[in-house]
Amino acid sequence: MQLKKIKIGSLTTPNNVFLAPLAGYTNCVFRQMCFDFGAGLTFTEMVSAKGLVYDSSATRELLSVTPEYSGIKAVQLFGGDPYYMRRAAESREIAPFDLIDINMGCPVPKIFKNGEGSALMADIPRAQSIVREVAKAGKPVSVKFRTGLSGDKLVTRDFALAMQDAGASLITVHGRTRDKIYSGPVNFDEIAAAKRAVDIPVIANGGVFSVADADELIQNTGADGVAVARAAMYDPFIFCALVRVPVPDKKQAIRTQLLRTREVFGERFATVFMRKMIAFYIKGMPSSSAVKQALFMCGSVEEVEGILSGINFN
């Protein structure tokens, strides 16, 4: 794929390869690592608008940013009430962020039943109202959504136009319907229809696990860039390949992630989180099952570091 800068309102990204928001994974240390590897834009985990308004400490933790992060700071908010979405967008917690992304694609039943996430694709007037209210905070707004709720309810083109008309400066289209969750083929035609319909940048999301996947997605949709999601959990070094920069020493990079995660979030979180992440990173490697078993017996960062030191990433 051709690398290029993306203009999002008053903001400009260094390239068109983004890290998608991943609930439970895209904490500030992981975002920093992916940015260092070449990601042109990274997003927080999705943050509840009502959680911010009601001053939830767990919600505030999702908004951490490393001091050394020098890229565009992007937060993803979710909610179904325009009033709470605007209050969250104008809150002091969101003030440090440059870009507000609105989640209108989450397929999780609890979110959907609350009229949030992908449920908004079935209520275009309310979705537009949310974008207009969030835009009143004075920051560029982007929207992430899917192709529809199901195969017989595809809304990609109309929803893309509606988001642009409401004031969105960028859209990200996950090329699957809500009922497919994260499985099945990506619908290139629907993403292409959104791209033809709007004048704002369109980022394609879904199924990018390699450079070849990204090339295919761009070639078949005409999108302006790609957003990498689950692939980053298993291989954050994919960004090096996509933006064509040298891969750093993998073991040292993961060790840095481990120690920085402890520094920011504490011993217990770092131990549990990095056991899981390293298990992802070694998937498919020789003896990975035995290493995973040893990892999940670890009770401290030092023990995780000891297991990491014995892994050969070459």
Instruction: Please answer whether residues 79 and 50 qualify as being in contact, where contact means their C-beta atoms are separated by less than 8 angstroms.
Output: yes
Q: Which pairs from 254-259 meet CB under 8 Å and 24+ separation?
A: 254/278, 254/281, 254/308, 255/305, 255/308, 256/33, 257/29, 257/30, 257/33, 258/301, 258/304, 258/305, 258/308, 259/301, 259/305
Instruction: Please answer whether residues 159 and 193 qualify as being in contact, where contact means their C-beta atoms are separated by less than 8 angstroms.
Output: no
DSSP string, 111-177: HHHTT-GGGGGG-HHHHHHHHHHHHTTSS-EEEEEESBSSTT-B-HHHHHHHHHHHT-SEEEEESS-
The one catalytic residue in 34, 106, 240, 298 is 106
Sign of CA dihedral 247, 252, 257, 263: negative
What six digits make up the tokens of 28?
Answer: 């500030």
Is 106 marked active-site?
A: yes
Give the containing element (helix H, strand E) for 304.
helix 301-309
CA distances from 148 to 32, 59, 117 (A): 32, 28, 12
What's the rounded Cα separation, in Å, for the pair 95 and 286?
A: 46
Query: What is the rounded radius of gyration, in angstroms, for the C-alpha atoms of the chain?
Result: 19
**Active-site positions?**
106
